[in-house]
């Protein structure tokens, strides 16, 4: 994506996409939160997005995210930092100490470590259970059939607040095809709520499929490329 347009302009375009999708779904646009995925982009880009009114940012890599949090320490009281990538056991302490949200809980061991390592006196760490709705072997996430057991176990842990479910569906070329896995996650979300879990977050939808996600009930969309541009990976 050319950088001729500013991050502020890209953000406004994404907000308009969310607003239109919400309108098409007969929803209020304010019911969909925008998470700007800043992985691989410098702290200066996060600051530019912040200056354009964005407050929630997602990071996939622990060390990179921690470095940005430190570099943007002057904004810490106003920024909400979300960890959205796969999380290894040896990295949970840093995430528990520094982030506000974790979207990628796919096994109880990770949740237990985050709960025990969340600093005393801190607010509960907001977490989502990641579900592998497309059944891809290369994707993280608990199998849909096992999601309920994991969600109930996570919800019982001190120091954590289970907010909902997250998924990264397999890419699909049409709107109707994109809606299928999002609908699957929403039905699971509804079933867990009916089973007594106090959930409010469906984290699904990215730059290419945010419309499908909003139509199927997403409350948070994770948008990177459409805001910051194409990524160059060095990890």
Domain range list for the chain: 7-228
pLDDT of 130 reads: 98
CA-CA-CA-CA torsion sign (207, 210, 212, 218):
positive
The DSSP output letter for 166 is E
pLDDT of 233 reads: 65
Band of the pLDDT at 137, cuts 50, 70, 90?
Answer: confident
pLDDT of 131 reads: 98
Mean pLDDT of 16-36: 98
Kindly tell me if the per-residue pLDDT of 1 is higher than 60: no
Reported as a single tens digit per residue, the pLDDT across 176-196 is 999 999 999 999 999 999 999
Write down the CATH number for the domain with range 7-228: 3.20.20.10
CB 95 within 8 A of CB 114: yes
Mean pLDDT of 108-124: 97
Burial of residue 228, with CB atoms counted within 10 A of its CB: 0-12 exposed, 13-18 middle, 19 or more buried? buried
pTM, rounded to two decimals:
0.95
Cα(232)–Cα(235) distance, integer angstroms: 9
Kindly tell me if the per-residue pLDDT of 67 is higher than 80: yes
| 76/139: higher pLDDT | 76
Largest distance between two CA atoms of the chain: 49
pLDDT of 134 reads: 86
Residue found by looking up tokens 């977050």 in the block: 201
Written as six digits, the tokens of 182 are 């999002």
Kindly tell me if the per-residue pLDDT of 212 is higher than 80: yes
DSSP line for the chain: --TTS-HHHHHHHHHHHHHHHHHHTT--GGGSEEEEE-TTS-HHHHHHHHHTT--EEEESSHHHHHHHHHHTGGGTTT-EEEE-S---GGGHHHHHHH-SEEEEE-SHHHHHHHHHHSPTTSPPEEEEEEB-TT--TTS-SB-HHHHHHHHHHHHTSTTEEEEEEE--PPP-SSHHHHHHHHHHHHHHHHHHHHTT----EEE---TTTHHHHHHTT-SEEEE-HHHH-------
Mean pLDDT of 47-61: 98
Band of the pLDDT at 2, cuts 50, 70, 90?
Answer: very low
The overall average pLDDT reported for the chain is: 95
Written as six digits, the tokens of 149 are 């057991």
pLDDT of 234 reads: 61
pLDDT of 235 reads: 52
pLDDT of 48 reads: 97
Cα(222)–Cα(56) distance, integer angstroms: 10
Mean pLDDT of 191-207: 98
């Amino acid at each position: 994506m050319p950088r001729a347009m500013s991050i502020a302009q890209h953000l406004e375009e994404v907000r308009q996409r969310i607003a239109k999708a919400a309108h098409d779904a007969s929803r209020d646009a304010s019911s969909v939160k925008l998470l700007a995925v800043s992985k691989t982009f410098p702290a200066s880009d996060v600051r530019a997005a912040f200056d354009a009114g964005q407050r929630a940012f997602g990071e996939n890599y622990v060390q990179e995210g921690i470095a940005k949090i430190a570099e943007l320490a002057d904004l810490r009281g106003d920024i909400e930092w979300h960890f959205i990538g796969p999380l290894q056991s040896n990295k949970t302490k840093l995430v528990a100490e520094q982030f506000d949200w974790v979207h990628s809980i796919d096994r109880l061991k990770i949740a237990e470590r985050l709960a025990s390592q969340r600093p005393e006196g801190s607010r509960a760490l907001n977490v989502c259970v990641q579900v592998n709705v497309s059944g891809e072997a290369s994707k993280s996430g608990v199998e849909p059939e096992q999601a309920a057991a994991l969600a109930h176990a996570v919800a019982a842990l001190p120091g954590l607040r289970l907010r909902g479910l997250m998924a990264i569906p397999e890419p699909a070329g049409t709107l109707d095809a994109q809606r299928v896995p999002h609908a699957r996650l929403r039905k699971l979300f509804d079933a867990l709520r009916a089973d007594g879990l106090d959930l409010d977050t469906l984290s699904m939808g990215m730059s290419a499929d945010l419309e499908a996600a909003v139509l199927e009930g997403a409350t948070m969309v994770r948008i990177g490329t459409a805001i910051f541009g194409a990524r160059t990976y060095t990890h």
